[in-house]
Amino acid sequence: MFFATVWLCCSATAQAQQTNRDFNIDLVNGPIVGPNRVVGLSGAYTSLGYGIENAIITPAAYATRTLWETRWFSWDATADLSPGPLRRIDFINDGQGGQKSSDFLFITAGAGAIMGDVGVGAIVRSQYYRIGDNTDVNLILANYGLCYAFLQGQLLIGVAGRTAVLTLSKDGIGTLGEFSQSGPEAGAIWGPADRPYRIGVTARSPLHAANDQDTTSDLGFTAPKAVALPAEVQVGFAYQFGPRPLNRRWINPHDRERELRNDMLLRRLQRQREQVKREQPPSPSSTWTTPSDWLREPQDPEFRRAEGLRMAGEEQELQRAIATAERHHDTAVAALSRRYVLVSADLVFTGATDQGIGLEGFLNQERILSGQRPSLAFRIGAEGEPIPNQLRVRLGSYLEPARFSGVHPRLHATVGGDLKLFSFDIFGLVNPFELRLTASLDIAESYRSVGISVGLWR
């Protein structure tokens, strides 16, 4: 990930100066940094996609509805904070043991909306690092896109873009360099109704962010041609145990309303046709076969007055029927069991980086090769609700791949959960919605990360 570049501007002493800018910095897939719901499940969300937080995992998240959503329009929002109180951690796992981060602050904010079968949204992760006494790294990662739900929500296909902007600065000097680049990504989720499994896939193009300024020589060593985020392909599978269903067909309330209205209009048209027949019966030698025959309007004033009253009553009855159907559907969905255990797993394939070197090598101006071969990571997590509709817990583990020769992959353990708080309507401005508090913890060798967030309870 791009966050690994926090060491690009550390004030290391050059030992073997490089003079040619013929290398790229390989941005390794290190620890999962992002929304706390993602961290708590060890990032195994490729086949799930629930919530705007998971747009960093798959663009299919933009139109993924939870089991309980029944309205045509729904929205989601999140705000996450990881203040980095646990220091002396090693992000990049390069085996050198040299550079350690000092201070960091991760902030995530995202919002999305689903309108019928279409979902849109964006999520931005801001990562700030203070290295030593005088060096700052500011990183912004943005994901934004849209998704369409096919087959009543059973098939989700999303397309999106991602942008990374990395700024290096030093006290007394100012901005040393800025690397920025954007690229496409796509994702799909297949969740057949009434089946306890889901399958997902996500693909991302590689990003090669060139330096927008040529002042990194002020750091005292040779700058890279670019920092590179390799291409990625993720495949995920989820299976749910227990009486709670994992997938269901989403019924568009506009479709239900349209069916009820069409039934009403059909009854109305039938009455008018019968009245026209009574007023102007066809001759024995002819039949009404053209559209104009059936579009004749009744002329009897008494019928027209009575029909006007009937139509007004029908509209009122239609609105009552729509409200009743909506209540019945909401009641049926709310009655679904909340007892479940969800198990989700992902495989993440990361491509190689051309002429890539490790961060430790860059800091020491030595060619410590990194990303010479593709790497494979594994993520697995489990989730359940020990207190139905009040407390949700997650735990998981993931293998952080080693991009450096002679370095072993690093195993992480994660835990997290959601606590339902209270309903809020923004002082009467919107319909009430329920808030949640989310926390996560990620532990590995030489690594600790904690975080908290606030979002919508689903």
**404 — pLDDT class (breaks 50, 70, 90):** confident
**313-324 pLDDT tens trace:** 999 999 999 999
19-23, 219-223, 353-357, 379-383: range with highest mean pLDDT: 379-383
pLDDT at residue 446 tops 50:
yes
| Of residues 1 and 327, more confidently modeled | 327
**8 — pLDDT class (breaks 50, 70, 90):** very low
Q: What pLDDT is recorded for position 388?
A: 92
pLDDT at residue 305 tops 80:
yes
**240 — pLDDT class (breaks 50, 70, 90):** very high
- Lowest-pLDDT range, 188-202, 216-230, 439-453? 216-230
Q: How far is 198 from 238, CA to CA, in rounded Å?
A: 5
Q: What pLDDT is recorded for position 98?
A: 46
Q: What pLDDT is recorded for position 189?
A: 98
| Structural domains of the chain, ranges and CATH numbers in brackets | 2-245+345-456 (2.40.160.60), 253-282+291-334 (no CATH)
Length of the chain measured in residues: 458
Mean pLDDT of the chain: 82
- Lowest-pLDDT range, 116-120, 220-224, 439-443? 220-224
Q: What pLDDT is recorded for position 275?
A: 85
What percent of the chain is predicted at pLDDT more than 90?
43
Q: What pLDDT is recorded for position 284?
A: 62
**193-202 pLDDT tens trace:** 999 999 999 9
Q: What pLDDT is recorded for position 13?
A: 34
**20-65 pLDDT tens trace:** 556 777 766 678 877 889 999 999 999 999 999 999 999 999 999 9
7-11, 234-238, 254-258, 291-295: range with highest mean pLDDT: 234-238
pTM of the model: 0.83
**245 — pLDDT class (breaks 50, 70, 90):** very high
**97-142 pLDDT tens trace:** 544 444 667 888 999 999 999 999 999 988 776 655 666 777 788 9
pLDDT at residue 5 tops 50:
no
Q: What pLDDT is recorded for position 396?
A: 97
**139-185 pLDDT tens trace:** 788 999 999 999 999 999 999 999 988 777 777 666 666 778 899 99
pLDDT at residue 279 tops 70:
yes
